[in-house]
A and B are shown apart, each in its own frame.
Chain A
Amino acid sequence: MKLFGFIAVFIVGSVLLVMTMDFPGWGDTSSPASQGQVSSFYIEETINETKVPNMVTAVLADFRGYDTMFETVVIFIAGIGIIAVLRTFSDHSSPAPDEPEEDNEGGDLIIRSTCHLVVPLIQLFALYVVAHGHHSPGGGFQGGVMLGTSYILFALACGLPAAKKRMGERRAIIIAAVGIIIYAGWGVACLLFGGNFLDYSSLDPLLPGDAQMARSHSMLAVEIGVAFTVTAIMFAIYSNLATRGRLEKGL
C-alpha cells in the first residue's frame, strides 16, 4: 500500500513539476495574473465604482458578493453539521450540587484575571477589524474569527459553563442565522429598491452619500453579517469538539 501510494504520489508530483516549467517565475510582472484585464480593472476602477481603497474587500463583498454570501452559508452549514453529528443530550448526568459553582470559578486566579483583562481588548480589536475592513486589511471573516477566539479563550480560562452563559448553544445558532439573514436581506433590500440582487448601488436613496458611497456602506453591512455568522460558528465548533458534543465541562 505504501509503495503504491509512493508511486502514485511520485507520478503526480513529477507531472506537476514538469508543468511548472511553463509557469511564470517568481514575481514576474508580465505574468497573466499580474497583467490581465481583470487585474487592471480591479486596481483602477474599484475606487471609482465603490470608493473603497481596500480592493480585496471590494472584490470580496461587492464584485463577488454571491460567492461570499454562499461562503457564509458554507460556514453556517458546517456548524450545523457539526452540531448534528456530535451533539448528544446525556440524560444520566445529574451533576453533583457543588459542581456548577466550581466550574464557574474556572481555573487559577491569575489565568482568570488575565483572561478578563485580555478578552475585552481582543473583542475591541476584532470590532475594529470588522468595521475598518474596507479601508485597511481586515473584514468580516477575520474579525469574526477574532471575536470567536475571544470566546474560546474565555471558555479555556474560565470553563465552558461560564462561557455558555455568554454564548449559549441556542444563542450561537440564532446569531449565526442572523448573520446570513443580514447578508441575504441586504440583497433583498437591493431588489426592493429596483436593482438586482446584491446590487448595492440601488440602495442610494436609503444610505447617505451617492451611489458609490452606498456600495461602500453596504460592504460594511454585509461584513457585519459575515462576522456574526463566523463568530457564532467558531465558538460552536470549539465547544462541540472540545466536549465531544456534551457541552458540559470542556477542556
Chain B
Amino acid sequence: MEFLATGFFEEYIVPKFNYWIYVILMMIGLFAMITKNNLIKKLIGMAIFQTAIILFYVSIGVKAESGIPILGHEQHHAIVEEGQPSSEVIKKDKFANPLPHVLMLTAIVVGVSTLGLALAISQRIYRSFDTLEEDEILDQLRPGGHD
C-alpha cells in the first residue's frame, strides 16, 4: 500500500497522465461500441475512440521546450534570402517532430469521412426500419420476425 501511495503514483501516473487519459477515453469508446444498443450511441463511441487515438499521437509528439514545427520569419529569411546553412540557424531542440501532426491530420480527415458515411447509413436504416435500436432491427430481419 505504501508503494501504491507514493512511488507508483509519481513514477507511473504523473509523467504519463496523457496515456491514462487516452486509454480511458479509448475504453469509453470501445465500451460504447460493444454494449450500446442504439446505432447513434455506437457512432458516438466510435468518434470518442478516434479522438483518443488522435490524443495519443499528438501527445507522443510533444517535446519539452520546443514550439510548433514552423520556422519563424527571421529563420526563414536567414536561410532563404541570406543563404546561411540551415543546420546553424535551426536549433533542432526548438521544434517538435512534424510527423505525428501530419499523421493526425490524415486521421481527422478519415474520421470525418467515416462518421459522415456512418451517419448517412444509419439515417437510411432508420428510413427502412423506423428504428435505430439494434435488437429491433434484428427482430425485423429475422425470417419469422414481425414486420
Binding site for B on A (CB under 8 A): 1-2, 4-6, 8-10, 12-13, 16-17, 20-21, 23-29, 31, 33-34, 36, 38-40, 42-48, 51, 53-56, 58-60, 64, 67-68, 71, 74-75, 77-79, 81-82, 85-86, 135-137, 139, 141, 237, 240-241, 244-245
Contacts and interface: CB of A to CB of B under 8 A. Distances in A.
A74 B116 CA distance: 12
Interface in B42-71: 59-66, 68-71
B93 to A, nearest CB: 7
Contact of B120 (A24, A39, A81): A81
Contacts of B30: 8-9, 12
Contacts of B75: 47, 53
Interface in B75-96: 75-76, 79-80, 86-87, 90, 92-93, 95-96
Contact of B68 (A42, A48, A137): A137
Interface of A is mostly: helix
Contact of B117 (A28, A29, A82): A82
A52 to B, nearest CB: 9
Given A28-B64, A29-B63, A54-B70, A60 B15 contact: no
A38 B95 CA distance: 13
B100 A33 contact: yes
B141 interface: no
Contacts of B124: 85-86
Contacts, number: 175
**3 closest Cβ contacts across the A-B interface?**
A78-B113, A53-B71, A25-B15
Contacts of B92: 40, 43-44
Contacts of A2: 35
Contacts of A33: 60-61, 63, 97, 99-100
Contact of B97 (A24, A34, A48): A34
A27 B21 CA distance: 15
